[in-house]
Amino acid sequence: MTRDIIIIGSGPAGLTAAIYTARANLAPLVIEGEPSSTSDQPGGQLMLTTEVENFPGFPDGIMGPELMMKFREQAARFGAEFLTAKVTKVDFSERPFKVWVRDDLYTADAIIVSTGAQSIMLGLEAEQRLLGHGLSTCATCDGFFFRGHEIAVVGGGDSAMEEALFLTKFATKVTIIHRRDALRASKIMQERAMANERIAFRWNGVVADLVGTDKLEGVVVQDTVTGERETLPVTGLFVAIGHRPNTDLFQGVLDMEDTGYLMTKSGSSYTNVDGVFACGDVQDHTYRQAITAAGSGCMAAIDAERWLEATRHA
Amino acid sequence: MADGIITLTTSTFDETVQSSDQPVIVDFWAEWCGPCKMIAPILSELATELAGQLKVAKLNVDDHPDLAMRFNVMSIPTLLVFDGGEVRKRLVGAKGKGQLLQELGEFLGTSSR
């Protein structure tokens, strides 16, 4: 059976596209991804956050996972169908478009790509060994285990500040390691971090190595100015150094920038393939907010709906 | 254990994993862990589908930090597979059903021993 539309990915962009296309009676299939402890999972990056304070409509804030559950319920209410799996291959060379989950083939006349972005890891050899043994990708999951410890967060953006602030509930000291001498986080988050007595900063530092065989015992920090190395004796390290778009599936299929972000026609969600639309962080390296992702998901839904109608009545 | 999952506590932990004639997979989880919630329905399915081959149990680390510490759990979800009372496998982080089944393959089909 060929569907009207398949949505790949289920963060704010994908689920907003699902709400709109479901309400337009297009019965979307949302291939939502698979559980993981990184941001590459159903619900997307918000699944790893705590309080979301800037999503309009929630004056008292809302927990990230709860917000995403509400998005999902709203889409399901209008008939969106969900498949908890990861797309393994696509063929957009002819219509209907083909999407595979391992050996299972799904086809649709239109596709919305909203695969988002995932956290970048350090790329160190010790990383695999120490992941889950002091090294963590999820502060909300693992902060609890560092009660009374001294730990570190690497990164200088809003995610790094949010994680550091959250972790001060447990750790006695949180050192933020940042490669430059100024943060790129928003002013409000910077101020909160600077004002917190448990937070210290290690400026101009990059994580060069991790110490410890079966659990983390320290982090080797290299100074970006002097080149000198020192070992920070921490038992926990949380990584928040940025994101990369999840576009491996679309290499050679959809036009993308050198950084991997999908290219869309200005002011729309159109990709270079007629009938394939992109929305959310997978095509946005500028704003990257839940609300902008949701807005672009709405654009993709309306673009797809109009495109389907025009194509069918042509 | 309406969903076929055994809820472990400090007082039942050793007895349960050591006396079992089947491998026991223990899910170390907590209420505040998003990825833990994502895998909960998968574990319920496994408990049903693998009944007779494997037991599925869960341990709340908030209520029982002593056990989390004893097994060096510093990240959740962590799944420990016990066989003959010993930890045979450690799976850190949430995973999809397919990947879990693959990881558990070596413990399945041994129920006749």
Position A150 scores a pLDDT of 98
Q: Is the pLDDT of residue B113 over 80?
A: no
Q: Buried b vs exposed e over A154-172: b needs ≥16 C-beta within 10 Å?
A: bbbbbbbbbbbbbbbebbe
Mapped onto helix, strand or coil, the DSSP state of residue A154 is strand
- Residues B41-95: pLDDT tens digits? 999 999 999 999 999 999 999 999 999 999 999 999 999 999 999 999 999 999 9
Query: Cβ of A141 and B33 within 8 Å?
Result: yes
At B2 the pLDDT is: 54
Active site positions of B, annotated? 33, 36
Name the residue among B37, B61, B96 with its Cβ closest to that of A34. B96
On the CB side of B73, how many CA atoms lie within 13 Å of its CA?
29
CATH code of A52's domain: 3.50.50.60
The residues, ordered by sequence, that sit 6+ positions from B78 with a Cβ below 8 Å of its Cβ are A132, B28, B71, B90, B91, B92, B93
State the CB neighbour count (10 A cutoff) for residue A53.
12
Separation of alpha carbons A83 and A73, rounded Å? 14
Contacts of B96 in chain A (CB under 8 A): 34-36, 84-86
Report the predicted TM-score, pTM, of the whole model to 2 decimal places. 0.86
Q: Who among A35, A134, A142 is closest to B94 (CB)?
A: A35
A203 and A131 in one domain? yes
| CATH code (residue B83) | 3.40.30.10
For testing contact with chain A, the best of B31, B70, B74, B89 (most A CBs within 10 A): B74
Instruction: Name the residue range of residue A154's domain.
Output: 126-239
Expressed as residue numbers, the domain containing B22 is 5-105
Q: What is the C-alpha to C-alpha distance for residues A88 and A72, in angstroms, rounded to an integer?
A: 22
**What is the pLDDT at residue A119?**
87
- The last residue of one of the domains, among A213, A239, A265, is A239
Whether B1 has a pLDDT exceeding 60, the answer reads no
B63 is a domain residue = yes
Q: Provide the 10 A C-beta neighbour count for residue A127.
A: 15
Size of interface A-B (CB pairs under 8 A): 89
Q: How many percent of chain A have pLDDT more than 70?
A: 100
What phi, psi does A113 have (nearest 5°)?
-100, 120
Q: Model confidence at B110, in pLDDT bands (50, 70, 90)?
A: low
Do A33 and A165 lie in one domain? The reply is: no
Distance CA A81, CA A108 (A): 14
Q: Cα dist. A66→A302, B34, B37 in Å?
A: 26, 9, 11
Q: Is there a single domain that holds both residue A114 and residue A247?
A: yes
Residues A305 and A222 placed together within one structural domain of the fold: no
ipTM: 0.81
Between CA B81 and CA B90, with CA B84 as vertex, the angle to 5 degrees is: 20
The values of phi and psi at residue A237, to 5°, are -135, 125
How many domains, in total, are found in chain A?
2
The pLDDT, as a whole number, for residue A303 is 98
CB contact under 8 Å between B92 and A144, yes or no, is no
Structure tokens at A33: 């991804």
Q: Which pLDDT score is estimated for B38? A: 87
Per-residue pLDDT of A117-172, as tens digits, reads 998 999 999 998 998 899 998 898 899 999 999 999 999 999 999 999 999 999 99
The average pLDDT across A198-217 equals 96
Between CA A138 and CA A143, with CA A142 as vertex, the angle to 5 degrees is 105
Dump pLDDT digits (tens) for A246-303. 999 999 999 999 999 999 999 999 999 999 999 999 999 889 899 999 999 999 999 9
Instruction: Tally the domains of chain B.
Output: 1
Average pLDDT over chain A reads 95
Select from A102, A131, A138 the Cβ nearest to the Cβ of B35. Answer: A138
Mark whether A131 and A26 lie in a shared domain: no
By residue count, chain B amounts to 113
Answer yes or no: do B92 and A37 touch at CB < 8 A. Answer: yes
Strand intervals (E) in chain A: 2-8, 29-31, 51-52, 62-63, 81-83, 89-91, 97-101, 104-113, 117-119, 135-136, 150-154, 173-177, 199-202, 205-211, 218-223, 229-232, 236-239, 243-245, 276-278
Q: CB distance B96–A102 less than 8 Å?
A: no
- Tell me if A65 and B37 make a contact (CB, 8 A cut-off): yes
Q: Which of A214, A239, A264 is the last residue of a domain?
A: A239
pLDDT in tens, A76-120: 999 999 999 999 999 999 999 999 999 999 999 999 999 999 989
A104 and A34 housed in the same domain: yes
The answer to the question of residue B113 being in a domain is no
